[in-house]
Amino acid sequence: MRILLIGPQGSGKSTQGKLLSAKLKVPVISTGEIFRKFKEEDSDEGRRIKKIYDRGKLIDNETTVSLVKKRLAKDDCQNGYILDGYPRNMEQIRLFEPNFDKVIYLKISDEESISRLLKRGREDDTRELITERLNIYHEQTDPILDYYQRLGLLSIVDGSGEIGPIFENIRKATGG
């Protein structure tokens, strides 16, 4: 089963992705993790990604698509995967559509997202920066949600509340 787990920062994608991965016995793949691994590599691509990261910029769509394709081609993905962080925008879907079986949207309010992110206490997690990132997220992601809704693949799961009941709703939505 190929699943997209999507939701704003702080929605619990990482936590829920790990639980779903264990249940379905497929890897959970995060674009952030892919980028971090590549930027540590002593390769031209790794150095280029490190430069982009160090300037605080987003990795361009073509590079993102290339790295996601490479990761999904690995043996552990042959029986399915859970993808977190791709696609981030409609251009990425145009460049590479993974043909998901199911798209799970972990929906939380912006206020809930801000509250959760402020609690983790990172330097770059100020109310202003989080709000700016959420605005960008909604601008880029709302069309993706519409796209998958039209394809009949989208399930919306309330991401507020306790981890266990949220996971149970995700499990039901995936038929797992």
Number of alpha carbons in the 13 Å side-chain half-sphere of residue 38: 24
Residue-range domain boundaries for the chain: 2-174
How do residues 89-141 score in pLDDT, each as one tens digit? 999 999 999 999 999 999 999 999 999 999 988 887 899 999 998 999 999 99
Residue 21 tokens, joined:
């991965």
How do residues 7-30 score in pLDDT, each as one tens digit? 999 999 999 999 999 999 999 999
Mean of the per-residue pLDDT values for the chain?
A: 93
The rounded distance, in Å, linking the Cα atoms of 10 and 15 is 10
Alpha helices of the chain — where are they, by DSSP H? Answer: 13-24, 31-40, 44-54, 61-72, 90-95, 110-120, 127-150, 163-174
Q: What percent of the chain has pLDDT over 70?
A: 99
The rounded distance, in Å, linking the Cα atoms of 103 and 148 is 7
To 10 degrees, what angle do helices 31-40 and 44-54 make? 110
Give the CATH class of 2-174.
alpha beta
Residue 144 — very low, low, confident or very high, per pLDDT cuts 50/70/90? very high
